[in-house]
Structure 1
Amino acid sequence: MSITRHESSEIYSKVVEANGFVFTSGIIPSDLSRDAKGQAEEVLKEIDRLLALCGTDKSKIVMTNLWLNDIRHREGVNEAWKAWTGGKDTPARATVEAKLVDPRMLVEIAVVAAK
C-alpha cells in the first residue's frame, strides 16, 4: 500500500493519502475572532484546498467528524455546511461537543474522502 503524507510536522500530517482515500487531520480556524459560522467557513475552505492537493474534492467525502466547543453552535456551522455542500453529496457525519485546544476555537472538522 502506498501512503503519501502532506504538510507534515514531527507531530502530525495535515492530510494523508492511502489506499484510494484521503484523510485530513482535524482542521481548525486561524481567525479565532470569528463566530462559529465564520470559523466553519474558514475550515471548509481549507478542506477544499487540502482535497484539491490530493486530487479529489468535497463531492467525494464519505465521512466527516465535526467537533464544536458548544453544541449550540451547531446551527451556524450547519448554515456554513449547507452552503458549502449545496445540500448534495452529503457524507456520513458525526457532530459532538468537545473541549477544543483554545477556548476561542469554536469548531474543528476532519474528513475522509475517496480519490
Structure 2
Amino acid sequence: MALKRIGAGNRMSDAVIHGNMVYLSGYVAEKTVGKSVKEQTQDILEQIDATLKEAGSDKTKIVKANIWLTDIKTWAQMNEAWDAWVVPGQSPARATVESKLAGPGLDVEIMVEAAI
C-alpha cells in the first residue's frame, strides 16, 4: 500500500497517509513570543485542522492525541483551548505529559492520528 506524504521535508513530513489513516507529526505553535499556553494550543489546533483537511479528514475523526507540555501546571490552560476545539462526544483517546521540548519558548506540542 502506497504512502502519501504531506509537507515532506528532509527530516520529517507534516503528515503521512497510510490506508485510511493519517498520522500527523508533532505540531508546535508558529508564533511563541509572548504567547500563553492557551494561545500556543489554539495556534497548534488551527494547524492540525488545516492538515487534517488537506488529508481528507477532520477533528471528529481523530482517534489518538499525544500532548506534551513543558510545565504540567499549565494543563488547565491547554485544556481551555482543547475543550473549546474538540467536538463534544467526538473526543479522541489522549495522553498529556510534561517534557522538555525542542526549543526555547515552545510550551506545547501536539501529535494526532486520525481516520480518513
Range of TM-score over shorter length: over 0.9
Task: Tell whether the 8 Å contact from 1:69 to 1:106 is kept in structure 2 after alignment.
Answer: yes
- Is it true that 1:28 corresponds to 2:28 in the alignment? yes
Q: Which runs of 5+ in 1 are unaligned?
A: none
Equivalenced residues, count:
115
3-state SS of 1:99 partner: coil
TM-score (norm 2): 0.96
2:4 is aligned with 1:4: yes
Moved over 3 A (4+): none
- 1:33-44 equivalences in 2 (<5 Å): 33=33, 34-44=35-45
Equivalence map 1:7-86=2 (5 Å): 7-33=7-33, 34-86=35-87
Distance in 1 (alpha carbons) for counterparts of 2:77 and 2:21: 29
User: Percent identity at matched positions?
Assistant: 40
Deviations 1:31-69 (A, max 9, x none): 112100000000000000000001110000000000001
Q: Unpaired runs of 5+ in structure 2?
A: none
- Using the size of structure 1 for normalisation, the TM-score is 0.97
Tell me the distance in 1 between the aligned counterparts of 2:98 and 2:83: 19
Indicate if the aligned counterparts of 1:69 and 1:103 stay in contact, CA closer than 8 A: no
Partner of residue 104, structure 1? 105
Cα distance in 2 between the residues matched to 1:27 and 1:51 = 12
Query: Which residue type is aligned with residue 30 of structure 1?
Result: E
